[in-house]
Amino acid sequence: MKKILIVDDDKFILSFMKFSLDSAGYDVISLSDGTQVIQTIRQEKPDLLILDVLIPGIDGFKLAERVKADADTTYVKIIISSAIYKKDIYIAAAKKLGVDGYMIKPINKTQLIELVHSILGNT
């Protein structure tokens, strides 16, 4: 079973994504802030990280860069998520960073699962 780590400070979005991806057959773990992300990836070895870049107190892009740069965590696939705010700048930044996907919130279940399937392959 493929494992996904979701990082989002909105607990409703977290519950929604967890429920949707659980029911699509993924093993889902989550964090509500950015402080433990690298450590959690090292311990839990998820296949995919879904990272909200606008979580308070941390720059989501810098965090994604660190995940990519660290030899222990560089393998993990990344979807950046954010609401429409600074959309074009953010999408450009995400592309430059070489992440695997970008999700503009709000999302629905079908969009979420399709994006995750296309990156991880069907389970």
Partner 1 sequence: MTHLLTGQDGIDRGKKGGFCLMLFDVFLPDMNGFDVFAAMKNFQDAESPPVVFLSGTVDEETMQRTRDSGASGFILKPFAPESFLLRLRELVPQIFPGSSKDIESDREKKFLGELRGEYITEWLEMMPEMESAFEGGRYEYVSQMAHNLAGSGGTMELPFITKAGRKLSELIHQRQLEKAASLIRSIHSFFISEANKKSSETTINFVQDKLKDKNEKNSDR
Residue ranges that bind partner 1, judged by CB under 8 A? 9-10, 12-13, 15-16, 19, 23, 52, 54, 56, 82-85, 105-108
Q: Which H or E element spans position 103?
A: strand 101-104
Nearest approach in angstroms of CB 26 to partner 1 is: 15
Query: What residues form DSSP beta bridges with 101?
Result: 79
Nearest approach in angstroms of CB 75 to partner 1 is: 28
**DSSP annotation string for 54-69:** T-TTS-HHHHHHHHHH
Q: Which one, 32 or 68, has the nearer CB to partner 1?
A: 32
Q: Which one, 41 or 63, has the nearer CB to partner 1?
A: 63
